[in-house]
Amino acid sequence: QKEVEQDPGPLSVPEGAIVSLNCTYSNSAFQYFMWYRQYSRKGPELLMYTYSSGNKEDGRFTAQVDKSSKYISLFIRDSQPSDSATYLCAMKRDGNNRLAFGKGNQVVVIP
């Protein structure tokens, strides 16, 4: 079983729609969960960071973690064309430096 799984299928939504992305993981030692956004020809940029089960909101973005199911989600409300990017989930263990990434979802928001 892969350590972090993220269905890499591209996602096209109309402007204003809710975007829903998710990742599953197998390693119960992961304690810190991140969503990175990557624009074309740029490096990953941290979007959201959580380390406990539950929801965390930041503007139009909500990150959700369910440690019992080993499942994390990112929701983007009122999506904008500027949200068009690849979204990568990432996670790490406490006391460890390496980030384990999902494959990424390419999101296109159509005006």
Partner 1 sequence: EPEVTQTPSHQVTQMGQEVILRCVPISNHLYFYWYRQILGQKVEFLVSFYNNEISEKSEIFDDQFSVERPDGSNFTLKIRSTKLEDSAMYFCASSVLAGGPETQYFGPGTRLLVL
| 18 DSSP assignment | P
Spatial CA neighbour of 85 closest among 49, 17, 35, 51: 35
Q: Is 65 in the site for partner 1 (CB under 8 A)?
A: no
Helix, strand, coil shares, percent, the chain, to 5: 5, 55, 40
Q: Is 71 in the site for partner 1 (CB under 8 A)?
A: no
Q: Confirm or reject binding of residue 103 to partner 1 (CB under 8 A).
A: yes
Question: Quick check: 104 binds partner 1 (CB under 8 A)?
Answer: yes
Decide: is 43 part of the binding site for partner 1 (CB under 8 A). Answer: yes
The tokens for 14 are: 């109309």
**Member of 74, 88, 107, 109 binding partner 1 (CB under 8 A):** 88
Q: How far is the CB of 42 from partner 1 (least distance, A)?
A: 5
State the Cα angle at 69 between 66 and 73, rounded to 5°: 45
Part in contact with partner 1 (CB under 8 A); list of ranges 11-19, 45-53, 58-66, 71-79: 45-53
